[in-house]
Structure 1
Amino acid sequence: MDTSAPFWRAKTLDVMTRAEWESLCDGCGRCCLHKLRDDETDRLAYTDIACRLLDGETCRCKDYANRKKRVPDCVKLTPARVAAVDWLPPTCAYRLVGEGRDLPWWHPLVSGRAETVHEAGVSVRGRIVAERDAGDFEDHVVSWPGRWPAKARHQPATTRPRKPG
C-alpha cells in the first residue's frame, strides 16, 4: 500500500477505518433526496424532496446517529451496498472511490473546506422541498441529482494550488 497517497487512493472502501469512511461523505445531501422507482420499468427518478432529517442549509442529517430509528427506510451505506445500488449520484465519493476513481477538487478532503461542495453547485442547498410541503412526489421529479454539475467539472483558478516560483 502506498502510504504517501491519500487514504482514498491507497485503500478500497472495505478496508477503510470508520473515520475514513465517514469523511468520504462530502455533505452534498443528494442521497437524502427521495427517489421514485417505476414498478413496471424499474426506472429510477430523482426528486427534489428531502428526507425530513436533512438540514437544507448544512446538507447534513439532523440526527445522523439515530437516523435508522427515525427514518426506517434510510439506507446505511456499506461497501457492498455502494457496489449494488444504482441511485448514488455520479458525484458521490463512495461511488467514485468504489469505481477506482479519484475525488474531485471540490470534495472537502481535497479542498480542505466544507463549503466547496456548495460553491461547486454539487449540494442540494437552496434546491430542495421539505417532505411536509411536497404534496405529490411525482410532481417533484428532477434530473439534476443524477448529473454532474457543470461548475463542478472544472476547478476555478482561485482554488487551484499555486505553482512554486
Structure 2
Amino acid sequence: MVDKYWETKPLENMSDREWEDLCDGCAKCCLHKFIEDEDVVEAVSTDHLKKGENIHYTNIACGLLNTKTCACSKYMERTKLVPDCVKLTKDNLKDIFFMPPSCSYRRLYEGRGLPSWHPLLNKGKKSAMHKNGMSVRGKTVYEQDVDLEQFEDYIALWPVQDLD
C-alpha cells in the first residue's frame, strides 16, 4: 500500500524527500518558454504574467537534460550552471506561473491531486508517464542545436496538455 502523503499533508509541511518525490520527472520545466507580448521588443526575465501576455512552450530543451531519462544530468549544480534554471521550492511555488498544467506541484497547489500516470501511483516507475506522452521523451531538440533567435519555429502545444 502506497502512503499517499500528498493527499493529507500540505505542501509546506512536506519533508525534503517528500517534496522531491512529488516531481513526476516529465522534464517539461526544462523546456525553453517565452512570453508573447506585442509591446515588448526584446526578451526580458520576469516572475509573473501581465494582463494580455501568454506563455508559449517550445520543444527546445536545456543542454543539461538527458532526454531519454528526462532527468537533469547535473541536478545538484543546475542553478549554478544554468542561471535561468529555477529551483522550485515551497516558498516560490505560488510564483511559478510557467509550470505546465500537468506539473504535479502545480496540480497539488491548485487542489487537483496527482495525475493517474504519476510515478508515485505507478510503483515509482515513469513508464506510464512516457506511454501517455506526458514527458518530453522523444519530442525535443537541444538548445545548442538550434538558433534560439528563431524560437518561434519551435513552439509546441503538447507541453500544456493534461490528461486527468
After TM superposition, the score normalised by the length of structure 2 is 0.84
The equivalent position to 1:111 in structure 2, one of 119, 122, 138, is 122
What SS is found at the alignment partner of 2:134?
coil
Query: Match of 2:11?
Result: 13
Query: Match of 1:142?
Result: 156
The equivalent position to 2:83 in structure 1, one of 66, 72, 84, is 72
Query: Match of 2:60?
Result: 49
Cα separation, 2, equivalents of 1:144 and 1:110:
22
Query: Match of 2:49?
Result: none
Runs of 5+ consecutive residues of structure 1 not aligned to the other structure:
154-165
What SS is found at the alignment partner of 1:126?
coil
Runs of 4+ in 1 over 3 A off after TM superposition: none
Q: Which letter does structure 1 place at the counterpart of 2:105? A: Y
1:63, distance to aligned residue in structure 2 (A): 0.5
1:93, distance to aligned residue in structure 2 (A): 0.6
1:116, distance to aligned residue in structure 2 (A): 1.5
Query: Match of 2:45?
Result: none
* 8 Å Cα contact 1:34-1:46 kept in structure 2: yes
Query: Match of 2:42?
Result: none
Cα separation, 2, equivalents of 1:98 and 1:70:
28
Query: Match of 1:38?
Result: 36
After superposition, the CA RMSD in angstroms is: 1.6
Query: Match of 1:81?
Result: 92
Cα separation, 1, equivalents of 2:132 and 2:153:
27
1:79, distance to aligned residue in structure 2 (A): 2.4
Higher helix share: 1
* 8 Å Cα contact 1:134-1:140 kept in structure 2: no
Percentage identity across paired residues of the two chains: 46
Task: Tell me which moved more, 55-64 or 78-87.
Answer: 78-87
Cα separation, 2, equivalents of 1:123 and 1:5:
24
Query: Match of 2:107?
Result: 96
Cα separation, 2, equivalents of 1:81 and 1:142:
26
1:5, distance to aligned residue in structure 2 (A): 6.0
Q: Which letter does structure 2 place at the counterpart of 1:36? A: F
Number of aligned positions between the proteins: 147
Runs of 5+ consecutive residues of structure 2 not aligned to the other structure:
40-51
Cα separation, 2, equivalents of 1:100 and 1:107:
16
What SS is found at the alignment partner of 2:17?
helix
